[in-house]
Amino acid sequence: MLAVIDKPCSPNEYNDLPGIMEADAAIKPLRRRLDQLVDHGSEVCGSTPFPFGETGALLLHKHWEFEEGECIIERPGSHPSGKPALITSARWFPRSSTVAPSRFKVDPQRRKLVALEFSSDEFVVQVWRALLAHPTFLESVCSLIGDSGLADQVGFAIFARAAVPVVEGEEMVEENWNKKSVMSAQVLVDDEQKVFVPTGWAFVSASEADITSSCIGYCMSSAGSHCNHHYNRPTAAPPPVCTLHD
């Protein structure tokens, strides 16, 4: 039986994660296995409340290091431009039902799902509660990650977000300043000086793929910065970011 560890992991467990470029270099030669993992994850999500890309595979990497008693938490806030944003930083862990784990590492040997980061976003909390009510799906996904041989490179994530509205043509862009990540919706402009690294691959049921887009994560490296791009591109009318069914 899978043990779900929904409390903050130890600083060592998080701080030992690779940086973004190291993680990208490690996953590149394993891309075929990653594609197979995402395909299988998309198959098992079809009969669950999570067929639209609410969850998926995550490239394991760290934003920065934190100390004992802290954890990485994402909260609603504002971008310096005034736009709605989600702000992530190292904080003391609040024991509250309004905060839920959002990114995880799978430990196949100990059969554990270990929380790495947390969020107070409404959809993250909603999806996490629904996941706990569907343990078979969590078991299946963790088994897929373990069986893929990618558990050291790839984890599990909740991608759905409510706090930042996204319109067609915009992307979710995460910018980092002073050990804080600020994620907002922006129109991206090509820049040859920036390197984009994929960090997330959504599980999207084939039966839903024609009416919704998968959420794809990217990290941008430029002049020492670390940015994450979470895509939710509608193919027609924009679907709900989070749609849960009984």
Entry pTM: 0.85
Rounded to whole angstroms, the Cα distance separating 160 from 208 reads: 16
Both tokens of 141, joined, read 């996904």
Q: Name the residue ranges covered by the structural domains of the chain.
A: 3-232
| pLDDT value at residue 241 | 40
Better-predicted residue by pLDDT, 242 or 153:
153
Q: Using an 8 Å Cβ cutoff, are 2 and 138 in contact?
A: yes
Q: What is the pLDDT of residues 189-244, one digit of tens each?
A: 777 777 677 888 989 988 765 444 444 455 544 433 344 443 333 333 333 344 44
Whether residue 97 has pLDDT greater than 90: no
Q: What is the pLDDT of residues 107-136, one digit of tens each?
A: 999 999 999 999 999 999 999 999 999 999
| pLDDT value at residue 234 | 36
Q: How far is CA 225 from CA 97, 128, 149, 174, in A?
A: 33, 30, 30, 10
Task: State the pLDDT confidence band at 62, using cuts at 50, 70 and 90.
Answer: confident
Place of tokens 């060592």: 12
- % the chain with pLDDT above 70: 83
| pLDDT value at residue 203 | 93
Phi (first) and psi of residue 183, to 5 degrees = -105, 125
Q: What is the pLDDT of residues 159-176, one digit of tens each?
A: 899 998 888 888 777 777
| First and final C-alpha spacing in the chain | 24
| pLDDT value at residue 245 | 41
| pLDDT value at residue 171 | 74
Task: State the pLDDT confidence band at 44, using cuts at 50, 70 and 90.
Answer: very high
Whether residue 89 has pLDDT greater than 70: yes
Mean pLDDT across 68-87: 92
Rounded to whole angstroms, the Cα distance separating 163 from 185 reads: 10
| pLDDT value at residue 238 | 35
Task: State the pLDDT confidence band at 182, using cuts at 50, 70 and 90.
Answer: confident
SS3 for 55?
Answer: strand
| pLDDT value at residue 219 | 54
Rounded to whole angstroms, the Cα distance separating 1 from 111 reads: 7
